[in-house]
Amino acid sequence: MLLCKHLKNIVYREIERGNEPLEVENWSNICLNVRFKYKFDKINTKEALDSVCLKKWENTDSHYTVEQGIMCLCCSISVSFPLEQD
């Protein structure tokens, strides 16, 4: 899997937890998005967001897949997972 150095650790930890990549997409605003089956671990996500390159995003537009993710602003690569319901 082609990932930037900023997202690599969070993705590997998710795979170790049993999370599964479902698909890889190209969007107009990013080079690559890797969609995962399960929500990401909160601790894993908080640690990842300490990086200045990573930003959390959320999509609630039902015309698209409702999900959230983490995007690398330095490399234009993103990972996404189901949106957490409060």
Strand order, beta sheet including 67-72? 21-25, 32-36, 77-82, 67-72, 54-59
Tell me the pLDDT of the chain (86 aa) as tens digits: 578 899 998 999 999 999 999 988 887 777 888 999 999 998 888 888 888 899 999 999 888 888 999 999 999 999 999 987 65
pTM: 0.83
CA dist 49 and 70 (Å) reads: 8
Which pLDDT score, from 0 to 100, does residue 1 have?
54
**What are the boundaries of each domain within the chain?**
8-82
Locus of tokens 């894993």: 44
Reduced to 3 states (helix: H, G, I; strand: E, B; else coil), residue 3 is coil
Which of 15, 28, 19 lies closest to 78 in space, CA to CA?
Answer: 28
